[in-house]
Chain A
Amino acid sequence: MAPHDLRRPFKRAAISDQQKRRELSLLRQAQNRRNAQHQARCLASSILSLQSSAPESEPEQSDIEIETVPETEHESEAFSKDPDVRRASTLRGPEARKWFAKQLMLPEWMIDVPDRLSQDWYVLARPAGKRCFVVSSNGTTVSRQRNGSILHYFPSALPAGAKTRDGSGSAQSYCILDCIFHESDQTYYVIDTVCWNGYSLYDCTAEFRFYWLNSKLEESGACNAPSHYHKFRFSAVPVYNCDQSGLYAAYTGAVPYVKDGLLFYNKHAHYQTGNTPLVLVWKDENCSQYVIDTDGKGEIPSQQQLVLELQDDRKLVTSDDPPVLFGCLDGDIIEKSGIQSGNLLRFAIGDGGLSFVDGKLEKADLVYLGKSNRARVFADSYSKVIFQFMVRHSPLKMDDLLASINSPDDQEKIPSDIEMVG
Chain B
Amino acid sequence: MAMEITQFLLAAQSADAKVRTEAETNLRQFQEQNMPLFLLSLSVELSNDEKPVESRRLAGIVLKNSLDAKDAIRKEQLVQQWMAIDVSIKSQIKDFLLKTLGSSVPEARHTSAQVIAKIASIEIPRKQWPELIGSLLNNMTQQDKPASLKQATLETLGYVCEEISHQDLVQDEVNAVLTAVVQGMNLADHGPEVRLAATKALYNALEFAQTNFENEMERNYIMKVVCDTAMSTEVEIRQAAFECLVAIASAYYEVLEPYMQTLFQLTSNAVKGDEETVALQAIEFWSSICDEEIELQEFESPESGDSGPPHSCFIEKALSSLIPLLLETLLKQEEDQDQDDTIWNISMAGGTCLGLVARTVGDAIVPLVMPFVESNIVKPDWRCREAATYAFGSILEGPSVEKLSPLVQAGLEFLLNAMKDGNNHVKDTTAWTLSRIFELLHSPANDFSVISPENLKRVLGVLLESIKDAPNVAEKVCGAIYYLAQGYEDAGPSSSLLSPYLTEIISCLIATADRTDGGDSKLRSSAYETLNEVVRCSNIAETSSIIAQLLPVIMNKLGQTMEIQIVSSEDREKQGDLQASLCGVLQVIIQKLSSTDETKPIILQAADQIMLLFLKVFGCRSSTVHEEAMLAIGALAYATGSQFEKYMPEFFQYLEMGLQNFEEYQVCGITVGVVGDICRALDDKVLPYCDGIMGLLLKDLASSELHRSVKPPIFSCFGDIALAIGEHFEKYVPYVLPMMQGAAEICAKMETSDEEMVDYGNQLRRCIFEAYSGILQGFKTVKPEVMVPYAQHLLKFIELVSRDSQRDESVTKAAVAVMGDLADALGSNIKLMLKESAFYDEFLGECLQSDDEQLKETAGWTQGMIQRVMVL
| Chain A residues close to B by CB (< 8 Å) | 1, 3-4, 7, 9-13, 15-18, 20-22, 24-26, 28-29, 32-33, 36-37, 40-41, 82, 84-86, 197, 199-201, 203-205, 208, 212, 268, 270
Shortest CB distance A40–B (Å): 4
Q: Is the interface of B mostly helix, strand, loop or mixed?
A: helix
CB atoms of A15 and B864 under 8 A apart: no
Give the interface segment out of B375-383, B672-680, B745-753.
Answer: B672-680
Q: Which of B429, B631, B824 contacts A203 (CB 8 A)?
A: B824
Q: Does B432 contact A (CB under 8 A)?
A: yes
CB atoms of A40 and B680 under 8 A apart: no
Question: Which of chain A's residues has its CB closest to B432's CB?
Answer: A11
CB atoms of B352 and A84 under 8 A apart: no
- Taken together as a complex, chains A and B put the C-alpha atoms of A196 and B472 apart, in Å, by 56
CB atoms of B777 and A40 under 8 A apart: yes
Chain A residues within 8 Å of B203, by CB: 1
CB atoms of A37 and B774 under 8 A apart: yes
Q: Which of A11, A12, A33 contacts B676 (CB 8 A)?
A: A33
Give the interface segment out of B263-271, B280-288, B304-312, B730-738.
Answer: B280-288
Chain B residues within 8 Å of A86, by CB: 726, 781
- Taken together as a complex, chains A and B put the C-alpha atoms of A3 and B239 apart, in Å, by 12
CB atoms of A204 and B246 under 8 A apart: no
- Taken together as a complex, chains A and B put the C-alpha atoms of A3 and B352 apart, in Å, by 11
Chain A residues within 8 Å of B348, by CB: 4, 9-11
Shortest CB distance B119–A (Å): 24
- Taken together as a complex, chains A and B put the C-alpha atoms of A385 and B344 apart, in Å, by 94
CB atoms of B723 and A37 under 8 A apart: yes
Q: Which of A18, A28, A84, A270 contacts B781 (CB 8 A)?
A: A84
Q: Does B487 contact A (CB under 8 A)?
A: no
Chain B residues within 8 Å of A26, by CB: 673
Question: Which of chain B's residues has its CB closest to A269's CB?
Answer: B871
Shortest CB distance A220–B (Å): 13
Chain A residues within 8 Å of B529, by CB: 15-18
Q: Annotate B828-872 by CB proximity to A: 1 below 8 A, 0 otherwise.
A: 000000000000000000000000000001001100110110010
17 A–B contact pairs at CB < 8 A?
A1-B203, A3-B284, A4-B280, A9-B352, A10-B352, A10-B394, A28-B638, A29-B634, A32-B676, A33-B720, A37-B821, A41-B820, A41-B824, A84-B781, A199-B861, A203-B827, A205-B864
- Taken together as a complex, chains A and B put the C-alpha atoms of A10 and B355 apart, in Å, by 8
Question: Which of chain A's residues has its CB closest to B347's CB?
Answer: A11
Q: Name the 7 nearest CB pairs between A and B, nearest first.
A: A17-B529, A4-B344, A40-B777, A10-B352, A204-B864, A3-B284, A199-B861
Q: Which of B344, B435, B720, B773 contacts A9 (CB 8 A)?
A: B344
Chain B residues within 8 Å of A4, by CB: 280, 344, 348-349
- Besides the known contacts A11-B390, A17-B532, A32-B676, 4 further A-B residue pairs in the complex with CB atoms under 8 A apart: A11-B432, A32-B680, A203-B868, A268-B871
Chain B residues within 8 Å of A203, by CB: 824, 827, 864-865, 868
Chain B residues within 8 Å of A20, by CB: 532
Q: Which of A3, A22, A37 contacts B773 (CB 8 A)?
A: A37
- Taken together as a complex, chains A and B put the C-alpha atoms of A254 and B861 apart, in Å, by 34
Give the interface segment out of B174-182, B409-417, B561-569, B584-592.
Answer: B584-592
- Taken together as a complex, chains A and B put the C-alpha atoms of A320 and B396 apart, in Å, by 77
Q: Is the interface of A mostly helix, strand, loop or mixed?
A: helix
Shortest CB distance A22–B (Å): 7
- Taken together as a complex, chains A and B put the C-alpha atoms of A84 and B719 apart, in Å, by 21
Shortest CB distance A223–B (Å): 20
Chain B residues within 8 Å of A199, by CB: 857, 860-861, 864
Q: Annotate B496-540 by CB proximity to A: 1 below 8 A, 0 otherwise.
A: 000000000000000000000000000000101110110000000
Q: Annotate B419-443 by CB proximity to A: 1 below 8 A, 0 otherwise.
A: 0000000000100100100000000
Q: Annotate B685-727 by CB proximity to A: 1 below 8 A, 0 otherwise.
A: 0000000000000000000000000000000100110010010
Q: Does B482 contact A (CB under 8 A)?
A: yes
Q: Which of B281, B341, B777 contacts A37 (CB 8 A)?
A: B777
- Taken together as a complex, chains A and B put the C-alpha atoms of A208 and B348 apart, in Å, by 65
CB atoms of B861 and A41 under 8 A apart: yes
Q: Does B628 contact A (CB under 8 A)?
A: yes
CB atoms of A212 and B781 under 8 A apart: no
CB atoms of A270 and B868 under 8 A apart: yes
Chain A residues within 8 Å of B628, by CB: 18, 21
Assuming the contacts A1-B203, A15-B478, asked whether A204 and B868 have C-beta atoms less than 8 A apart, the reply is: yes
Contact-size category for B: 35 or more
Chain B residues within 8 Å of A10, by CB: 348, 351-352, 355, 394
Chain A residues within 8 Å of B341, by CB: 9, 12
CB atoms of A37 and B770 under 8 A apart: yes
Chain B residues within 8 Å of A204, by CB: 864-865, 867-868
- Taken together as a complex, chains A and B put the C-alpha atoms of A16 and B287 apart, in Å, by 24
- Taken together as a complex, chains A and B put the C-alpha atoms of A270 and B870 apart, in Å, by 12
Q: Which of A25, A82, A84 contacts B631 (CB 8 A)?
A: A25
Chain B residues within 8 Å of A13, by CB: 432, 435, 479
Assuming the contacts A7-B352, A21-B587, A208-B867, asked whether A29 and B723 have C-beta atoms less than 8 A apart, the reply is: no
CB atoms of A205 and B673 under 8 A apart: no
Shortest CB distance A128–B (Å): 31
Assuming the contacts A33-B719, A212-B864, asked whether A85 and B781 have C-beta atoms less than 8 A apart, the reply is: yes
Assuming the contacts A12-B341, A17-B529, asked whether A205 and B821 have C-beta atoms less than 8 A apart, the reply is: no
CB atoms of B677 and A32 under 8 A apart: yes
Chain A residues within 8 Å of B293, by CB: none
Question: Which of chain B's residues has its CB closest to A7's CB?
Answer: B352
- Taken together as a complex, chains A and B put the C-alpha atoms of A299 and B184 apart, in Å, by 115
- Taken together as a complex, chains A and B put the C-alpha atoms of A13 and B432 apart, in Å, by 9
Assuming the contacts A13-B479, A28-B591, A203-B865, asked whether A41 and B351 have C-beta atoms less than 8 A apart, the reply is: no
Q: Annotate B330-355 by CB proximity to A: 1 below 8 A, 0 otherwise.
A: 00000000000100100011011001
CB atoms of A7 and B429 under 8 A apart: no
Shortest CB distance A175–B (Å): 13
Shortest CB distance B35–A (Å): 35
CB atoms of A29 and B868 under 8 A apart: no
- Taken together as a complex, chains A and B put the C-alpha atoms of A384 and B817 apart, in Å, by 42
CB atoms of B482 and A15 under 8 A apart: yes
Shortest CB distance A415–B (Å): 15
Q: Does B243 contact A (CB under 8 A)?
A: yes
Q: Identify which of A24, A33, A208 gathers the most chain B CB atoms within 10 Å of its CB.
A: A33
CB atoms of B716 and A33 under 8 A apart: yes
CB atoms of B723 and A40 under 8 A apart: yes
Q: Does B5 contact A (CB under 8 A)?
A: no
Assuming the contacts A26-B673, A199-B857, asked whether A37 and B864 have C-beta atoms less than 8 A apart, the reply is: no
Shortest CB distance A53–B (Å): 16
Q: Does B36 contact A (CB under 8 A)?
A: no
Q: Does B778 contact A (CB under 8 A)?
A: yes
- Taken together as a complex, chains A and B put the C-alpha atoms of A4 and B337 apart, in Å, by 15
Chain B residues within 8 Å of A208, by CB: 864, 867-868
Question: Which of chain B's residues has its CB closest to A17's CB?
Answer: B529
Q: Does B547 contact A (CB under 8 A)?
A: no
CB atoms of B723 and A197 under 8 A apart: no
Chain A residues within 8 Å of B355, by CB: 10
- Taken together as a complex, chains A and B put the C-alpha atoms of A128 and B269 apart, in Å, by 93
Assuming the contacts A11-B348, A82-B781, asked whether A25 and B673 have C-beta atoms less than 8 A apart, the reply is: yes
Q: Does B780 contact A (CB under 8 A)?
A: yes
- Taken together as a complex, chains A and B put the C-alpha atoms of A20 and B585 apart, in Å, by 12
CB atoms of B871 and A205 under 8 A apart: yes
Question: Which of chain A's residues has its CB closest to B869's CB?
Answer: A203
Chain B residues within 8 Å of A12, by CB: 341
CB within 8 Å of A: which B468-495 residues: 478-479, 482
Shortest CB distance A207–B (Å): 8
Q: Does B670 contact A (CB under 8 A)?
A: yes
Assuming the contacts A10-B351, A197-B857, asked whether A15 and B588 have C-beta atoms less than 8 A apart, the reply is: no
CB atoms of B864 and A201 under 8 A apart: yes
CB atoms of B676 and A29 under 8 A apart: yes
Q: Does B635 contact A (CB under 8 A)?
A: yes
Chain A residues within 8 Å of B861, by CB: 41, 199-200
Shortest CB distance A269–B (Å): 9
Shortest CB distance B202–A (Å): 13
